[in-house]
Chain A
C-alpha cells in the first residue's frame, strides 16, 4: 500500500523487538468471535489514475459547465488563484489545532488576522476562530444569548434562511427554548409590528438575517430598538459576506453569526464552509469556539496563543459554552487570504459589481414578471414572481445549460410561483439577458420538460 512506509522486513524486525510472532497477536485483546475474518466489501485498491478518473466522471454528472443563478446561502464568487497555492502548503494543510504555540505561530497569527478583519467588517469588537457554518453559528449565537440574558425564548424572522431555521429548531428542541416566528411585510423586511408583539419579557433574543433570505437588507436599527426596548438581544445572521463591502454592517446587533463562504470558499455542494461568531468584548466569555490572543514570550517577543480556553469542552466538559472542538480552520484561512487580497478598496468594488449586476437583472426581469419586495434595498438576490411554475421555467433553462433561480414554493408557499435569483460579479450581462428571455418565453417548453419539472418539484 503506497501510503505505508514499511517493508515486510521492517515489520518483521519490529514484531521481533516487541517479542511477538505475528501481527495477529497484536489484536488478541479483541474477543475472537468479533474479529473479522474476511475482506471488507469496499472497492478494490485503485491506482491514483483510476481514482482521478472516477471523480472526473462524477464531476461530469454534476453540473459541470452550467451557468447558475443560484444563491440562497451558497454563493459563486471568483476565487483568486493564490488561495489554493497558499492553503496547499503542507505546513497549513497538515498541521493540527495550534495547542503547541511555539511551533504553531503561523496558524495562530493568521487566525489573529482573521479575527481582526472579521471585526473590521462586521463592526464588532471580538470574533472567534470559526464555527462549522452559518447555520450552526446562528444556533450557537442564539444559545449564547440565552446564557447571557437568562431568558429562554427566541423570536426568529421568517426571512431567515429556512435551513438555518431548521437547524436552530433542532438545537433548541431539548434545551427548553420555545421558538416563535416573526413574518415579513410587503417590502420583504421583518414586520416590525408583528415582531414587537412576539417579544415578551422571556425573549432572550431576536434572530434575523441581513441581507435576508430574499436578498433584502433589513432595517437593523429599527429591529434592534424594538428588541432592546424589551431587554432582548439582537442576533444577526449574515449569509452573503460580500455584502459587507458595500452594505452597512449590523452594528446595532449584540451578536453576529456569519457564513463566510463567499470569501474564497468553493461552493463544494454545500461544504465545508466557514461560520464565524462576532460580538461585543463584554460577552466574550460566553462565546463558543476557539479564540487566539496576543501575548509575549519569556524574552518579551510578540506571539500568539489559543486563549480563554476555560470556556471550552476540553477544560469545562459538561459546563462548557459549546461542545465544539474541531472547527473550520483551513477554510478560515481561505477566507483570510480572500479578505487580504481584496482588502479595503477591493471588497467595496467587488460588492459594488454584485449590486450592479443584480440591479440590472432585477430591472430586466421586472419587464416580464413581478419582482417582489421593491420597497426596500437589496444586495445581490431578488425574488421573481411569474405566472408560470418556476420548476417549468427552470426545466426550460436547464436545456440551455442555465440553472435558474431557486423555486420558493417548498419554503414559502405563500409567495406562489416565486423564485430566488442571484447575480454575482461572475454573472455576465449576456447570461442575464438570455435567462430573462427564456423566463418570458412561456410557450417554449415541450410537454416532456413539464413532466421533468414536476419530478424535480416533488423531490425538492
Chain B
C-alpha cells in the first residue's frame, strides 16, 4: 500500500460467537407485567395444539444482547463509515431526521385497519408523497403499494398486461436490453411474458435498428433503464418511445437510476408510460443490510384504471379515504398499503431538500461520477467513452493481463478502507467495475478513493499476488463460497 493513503488504520475488534453459544438456562432479558386476568390452563384451552417446548431458543441477558449485536455491527462496512460506491445500488446518506419522524407515536403505531376518521395523518402522508413523486417523474398517477423495486416491476407489468388485455390482446413478450438488471427478465417471467433480449450498440445504448426490427404487434413493452446500467443516458429516448408507441407497445422505465434525473428531466416528458422508483435509492431510505425497500409505480393516465386497490381519494367532505371499488384493478400486490414507514422517510427527504436541494443533489451525483471517471481514466480501461451520468463503468482489461480480475481489485479496495464497487455487472462489460459515488461524497473522500484505485493499479503491475490474496486486513479472509453452496449449512445446530 502506498504511503499517504490516509483512509483506514487497522484496529482491534471483538470476537463474538453465535448467540446460541452464550445461552444458558435461567438467564433472561425480559420481564412481563403481572397478569391482570385469571390464569389459564393451557392444556385445557389448547388441547393437543399446546406446544411442549421451544427447542434451542436462546436464554441470555440484556447486556449480552447489546454486546452481541454491537460487536457484530462493528464487522460491517456502512455508508456512515465511508464511501460505498456500489454501482446501481445508490448508497447515499440516510438522514437521521427520517428515522426520528418515522418513530413518532401515531406514525409508528398506527394500525392499518383503524377507522379512516383517525387515519387522516397517514393518508395525508400517502397523498402528499404521491403528489411529489408524480411531479418529480412527470407522470399522471401512482401506487405506493409495491414493497421493493422488483415488486414494483411486477406491478407495472401487470398494469401493462391489463391495459393490453383491455385493448383486446395481452401480447406475448417484453423487450429487455442486454444491459438490464436481472430483476427485469425475472419479473417478465412472473407475469408470464416471454423475454426477448435487445442488444446494445457501440455507444452502450439501445440499438435503434435492432429495436425497429424486433418491435412488433406482439411486444407488450420495452423495459428500459435510463440512464442505463452503464450510467449512459439513452439519447434516442424519443425515437425509442416513438417506435414502441407506433406499434401499440408501452415504454416501461426501470427507475433504479432516477437519482441521475430528479429536478433535471422528467421521464413522463420523454415518453415513458410506466415506471417504478426505488425509495431506498433515490429517496434516501436506508438499505438496512438488504431492505426494506419500497417500489412505487408511476403511470400515465391510460393505465390509471388498472392501479392496485385501494387508492387514496379526497371525499366530498374534504377528508381523505381509501377507494376499494376499482373494477379494472390488477388487484392487490401486498396486504395493507405498502411499506408505509419508507413513505414517511422519503417525504421527509423531499422536504429537507425542496426543489433546489433535489436539483443540486442530482447535479452533485453526476459531477461526482464524472470526477471519478476523469481521475481513473488511464489507470483502468473505459469500455464505453459515451458521456457519464451518475455512475461510471470501467473494465479489468488492463489488470486481467496480470491475472487480476475485477473481484480481486474490489477485495483489495477493502484494505484501503472502502467498500467495493459493483463487480461483474452490467453483463455487457466483461470484468466490469461499476462505480457510483452518489452526491454524498466530498471531494476529499473521492480523492482518497481515486488514490486508492490508482495505487491498486500500480500494485497489479508490481505485485499482483498482494491483490489476488486480498483482503488482508479483515477479520476473515476470502470465504469458501463453493463449499458453502455444495454442502449448505443454513442454521446452527447444537453439538451432539
Contact = CB atoms under 8 A, between A and B. Distances in A.
Given A36-B266, A110-B72, A245 B147 contact: no
A50 B186 CA distance: 42
Nearest to B493: A116
A290 interface: yes
A415 interface: no
A35 interface: yes
Contacts of B19: 113, 340
Interface string A297-340: 11101011101111011111111101111111111010001011
A394 interface: yes
B275 to A, nearest CB: 15
Given A164-B335, A266-B108, A284-B488, A97 B289 contact: yes
A133 interface: yes
B488 A105 contact: no
Given A167-B333, A343-B59, A55 B150 contact: no
B106 A64 contact: yes
B54 to A, nearest CB: 5
Interface in A41-79: 41-46, 48, 50-52, 54-66, 68, 70, 72-74, 76
Nearest to B292: A272
A170 B158 contact: yes
A61 B124 contact: yes
Given A103-B75, A295-B481, A70 B113 contact: yes
A90 B80 contact: yes
Contacts of A23: 363, 367
B58 interface: yes
B214 interface: no
B477 interface: yes
Given A82-B62, A272-B342, A330-B291, A43 B351 contact: yes
A100 B101 contact: no
Nearest to A89: B73
A283 interface: no
B331 A331 contact: no
A97 B287 contact: yes
A441 interface: no
Residue from the set A56, A80, A95, A320 with the largest chain B CB neighbour count within 10 Å:
A95
A406 B35 CA distance: 25
A135 B337 CA distance: 12
B236 to A, nearest CB: 9
A39 B357 CA distance: 10
B411 interface: yes
A247 to B, nearest CB: 6
A74 B113 contact: yes
Contact of A94 (B262, B286, B370): B286
B213 interface: no
B366 A26 contact: yes
Interface string B464-485: 0000000100111111110111
Interface stretch (A150-158, A200-208, A223-231, A356-364): A356-364
Interface string A367-394: 0000000000100000000000000001
Nearest to B474: A102
Nearest to B148: A326
A301 B474 CA distance: 12
Taking each of A64, A115, A126, A349, which has the highest tally of chain B beta carbons within 10 Å of its own beta carbon? A64
Given A103-B474, A267-B108, A294-B489, A96 B289 contact: yes
B112 A74 contact: yes
Contacts of B120: 61-62
Contacts of B330: 170, 173
Given A45-B354, A459-B322, A406 B113 contact: yes
A174 B113 contact: no
A329 B353 contact: no
B369 to A, nearest CB: 9
Contacts of A121: 54-55, 57
A95 B374 contact: no
A107 B290 contact: yes
Contact of B97 (A52, A91, A117): A52
B45 A245 contact: no
A92 B471 CA distance: 21
Interface in A400-433: 403, 406, 425, 428-430, 432
A310 to B, nearest CB: 8
B318 interface: no
Contact of A95 (B45, B289, B337): B289
Interface string A280-291: 000010000011
B488 A293 contact: yes
Contacts of B370: 18, 20, 26
A456 B60 contact: no
Contact of A10 (B29, B106, B269, B442): B442
B117 interface: yes
A249 interface: yes
Contacts of B60: 340, 343
Contact of B192 (A100, A111, A174, A296): A174
B334 A132 contact: yes
Given A120-B56, A297-B480, A313 B354 contact: no
How many of chain B's residues touch chain A, expressed as a range? 35 or more
Given A23-B363, A36-B263, A292 B80 contact: no
Contact of A29 (B191, B353, B387, B425): B387
Contact of A62 (B37, B39, B122, B357): B122
Contacts of A365: none
Interface string A101-129: 11111110111110111011100011101
B398 interface: no
B431 interface: no
Interface stretch (B85-93, B243-251, B453-461): B85-93
Nearest to B364: A4
Interface in B188-236: 188-192, 195, 232-233, 235
A355 B148 contact: no
Contact of A341 (B30, B49, B81, B375): B30
B18 interface: yes
B99 interface: yes
Nearest to A45: B354
B107 A58 contact: yes
B289 A29 contact: no
B290 A337 contact: no
Nearest to A430: B36
Contact of B475 (A93, A105, A294, A341): A105
Interface string B324-344: 100000111111111111101
Nearest to A134: B335
Residue among A93, A133, A167, A341 facing the most chain B CB atoms (10 A cut-off): A93
A248 B33 CA distance: 25
Given A27-B264, A51-B101, A163 B335 contact: yes
A52 B101 contact: yes
Contacts of B269: 34, 36
A327 B442 contact: no
10 contacts: A46-B351, A55-B344, A66-B118, A103-B77, A106-B72, A130-B290, A268-B109, A298-B478, A324-B150, A325-B148
Given A48-B352, A117-B58, 10 more contacts: A4-B357, A89-B73, A95-B77, A103-B414, A120-B55, A269-B107, A344-B56, A347-B54, A356-B40, A359-B40
Q: Which 6 A-B pairs have the closest CB atoms?
A: A330-B288, A270-B336, A45-B354, A90-B80, A59-B106, A62-B121
